[in-house]
Amino acid sequence: MLQLHSQLLPPLSQVQVLQLTETMAKDMTLLWGSGSPPCWRIMIVLEEKNLQGYNQKLLSFEKMEHKSKEVMDMNPRGQLPSFKHKNYVLNDSYAACMYLESQFSQGNKLIPDCPAEQALMYQRMFECPDFHQKMATVIYYNWKVPEAERHDSAVKRNREALTAEIKLWEGYLEKASGPFVAGKNFSLADVMFFPSVAYLYRFGFCEARYPKLAAYYNSLKDRPSIKATWPPTWLESPQGQDLLKGI
């Protein structure tokens, strides 16, 4: 009876929908850092789900603000992102994105209904950490490894591992049934993958060497949810580093 009654209710007006969405968004808080792919993922999903009115605070990694009491109270690991909806804390970007997609039906659907498409989406989605980790190992090698412990052989091995990973994804995109990483529709797989791809180009990755990856990057960088959440530090300083120039 309750379901029948709800079906008889008049549909909400556009203004009412907007007001309801704003109310839901006000229950959310995101502490984030510019250029962080995990932070960016959550912000893309919030845009895709029309939840733009959330509380947010941009913090500086350079100033160690991710170790502040404000962050530690929400995320005892002292990491960004730190995300909360009502009293529910989800600091892992995968957890937060999947939660948002499951809880909010408005906006764009980010998990396909088709079992085949959904299976491919989950497979690509959970392969993304491998891609990101191999990229980060190359980019941050000198920062993480003390100078006395650095070896040219390790640098070479890390770059070869990243090259193999990139070639794998180039092949995935070549065989894809659509313009997105898991097929015809933008999905959570793209939410996870694109920020890491953008990171490649931020650090001097060559577009000409991997045409499918370049086409994917260029087709998505102007998507409204991605453009609206583009890292502000990247906008202020468009020229990145060239650490990945030879990959």
**What integer is the mean pLDDT of 138-142?**
92
CA distance 135 to 98: 24
Nearest 5 degrees, angle CA 144-CA 161-CA 237? 55
Instruction: Indicate where the chain has its CATH 1.20.1050.10 domain(s).
Output: 115-236
pTM for this model (two decimals): 0.89
Q: How is domain 2-103 classified at the CATH fold level? A: Glutaredoxin (3.40.30)
Helix axis angle, 211-220 to 188-202, nearest 10°: 110
3-state secondary structure 191-224: HHHHHHHHHHHHCCCCCCCCHHHHHHHHHHCCCH
Task: Return the percentage of the chain with pLDDT > 70, whole number.
Answer: 90
Task: Return the percentage of the chain with pLDDT > 90, whole number.
Answer: 79
**What integer is the mean pLDDT of 192-206?**
94
User: What CATH class does 115-236 carry?
Assistant: mainly alpha
Instruction: Indicate where the chain has its CATH 3.40.30.10 domain(s).
Output: 2-103
Q: How confident is the model at residue 245 (pLDDT cuts 50, 70, 90)?
A: confident
Q: Which amino acid is at 213?
A: L
**What integer is the mean pLDDT of 155-170?**
96
**What integer is the mean pLDDT of 114-128?**
96
- CA dihedral sign, ordered 193, 195, 198, 200: negative
Q: Which amino acid is at 68?
A: S
What integer best gives the mean pLDDT of the chain? 90
Tell me what pLDDT residue 4 has: 37
pLDDT 10s digits, 61-115: 999 999 999 999 999 999 999 999 999 999 999 999 999 999 999 999 999 999 9
Indicate the range of 175-179, 188-192, 193-197 predicted with least confidence: 175-179
